[in-house]
Amino acid sequence: MSDNAPKKVGFFSRLAAGLRRSSSGIAESVTAVFTKKKLDAATLEELEDALIAADLGANTAMRVTERLAKDRFDKEVTDEEVKEALAETIAETLTPLEAPLDIGASVKPEVVLFVGVNGSGKTTTLGKIAARLKAEGRSCLLVAGDTFRAAAVEQIAVWGERSGLPVEKRDLGADSAGLAYDAVQRARRESLDAVLIDTAGRLQNRTELMDELRKIVRVLAKLDETAPHRVILVLDGTVGSNALSQAEAFLEAARVTGLIMTKLDGTAKGGALVQVAEKFALPIHAIGIGEGIDDLQPFNANAFARAIAGLEEA
């Protein structure tokens, strides 16, 4: 336990720093509402509006105000008390959704599909997870399934080289479903623990690209009716409430099993993770607060809740 303590504190500091724009916006709104004010109906309404504007969503905003009204109605309330109520409400929502990744522990090879829109950080996230699996002694195959972009194929190749892991790739324009099929066959032959498949970044409103994603899922199921065993949706933390429509589209196309939110550093819209989690009840595997491998960390609901509320680590 003691070996992990410094790392945990260090990550909370980085998380708090990364979420500063989100937490500062929330703190400013809360402070503006609760400057020597009693908690009356008008103040509660102001607070609810402020939390919705911070991308936390109507349901979370309503639960925070209900929590405060229950114990503090018609009394003076400090902004610190409001932040504590906010952190507790967010933690209650997200704690049941904490889902650390344990790839390749049971099914072998475990087939993991990474999906998301262009620029979400999907390929980088795959690379970081692959590097971590290698460090843990697991064997995996990286699949450059975005056959539309030379840069994406090259990025996967670089991660493979950096991590000392094999890469399956094809020429530009090759059929990505066929590539995924061949990759799983290879992983079986080589007795690998996992197959991590990158896919083309696609906008959720491009029907033909979503159809191609469905095809990859269908083809993998021919090899193993339970494959892909995981479909991880990578969301960009800077898109705010737009993450809801992205999640909805990918859930329909590819049976998403969990999510990772990246780029939470430097955005004022980190609260959107709460909205997505609450609406779809998707397990949250990890969050990213920077470019380094250590900046992608297993999701901790309590740490996230306190950081976004602008509070110290509990």
Distance of CA 103 to the CA centre of its chain: 16
For residue 182, what pLDDT is reported? Answer: 97
Residues 152-169 have pLDDT tens digits of 999 999 999 999 999 999
Annotated ligand binding at 198? The verdict is: yes
Annotated ligand binding at 43? The verdict is: no
Q: What does pTM read for this prediction?
A: 0.90
Low-confidence ranges of the chain (pLDDT < 50): 1-9
Q: How far apart are CA 54 and CA 38, in angstroms?
A: 22
For residue 4, what pLDDT is reported? Answer: 44
For residue 225, what pLDDT is reported? Answer: 94
Residues 6+ apart with CB under 8 A from 208: none
For residue 36, what pLDDT is reported? Answer: 55
Annotated ligand binding at 124? The verdict is: no
For residue 35, what pLDDT is reported? Answer: 65
For residue 203, what pLDDT is reported? Answer: 66
For residue 104, what pLDDT is reported? Answer: 87
Cα dihedral 54, 57, 60, 61 sign: positive
Across 102-118, b (16+ Cβ under 10 Å) vs e yields: ebbeeeebbbbbbbbbe
For residue 204, what pLDDT is reported? Answer: 55
- The C-alpha angle with vertex 161 and arms to 111 and 138, in degrees rounded to 5, equals 40
Domains and CATH numbers, the chain: 5-97 (1.20.120.140), 110-298 (3.40.50.300)
For residue 3, what pLDDT is reported? Answer: 44
Q: How far apart are CA 306 and CA 44, in angstroms?
A: 21
For residue 28, what pLDDT is reported? Answer: 82
Q: Are 293 and 128 in contact (CB under 8 A)?
A: yes
Annotated ligand binding at 123? The verdict is: yes
Annotated ligand binding at 118? The verdict is: yes
Annotated ligand binding at 265? The verdict is: yes
Annotated ligand binding at 139? The verdict is: no
Annotated ligand binding at 122? The verdict is: yes
Q: Provide the H-helix boundaries in the chain.
A: 5-18, 20-33, 41-53, 58-72, 79-94, 122-135, 150-163, 176-189, 207-223, 242-254, 272-280, 301-308
Token pair of 239, please?
A: 């898109």
Identify residue 202 by its one-letter amino acid code. Answer: R
For residue 5, what pLDDT is reported? Answer: 43
Q: Are 260 and 100 in contact (CB under 8 A)?
A: no
Annotated ligand binding at 202? The verdict is: yes
Annotated ligand binding at 262? The verdict is: yes
Cα dihedral 117, 121, 113, 160 sign: positive
Q: In which region does residue 171 sit, left (phi positive, over 0), alpha (psi from -120 to 50) or beta (all else)?
A: beta
Annotated ligand binding at 107? The verdict is: no
Token pair of 281, please?
A: 């009840």
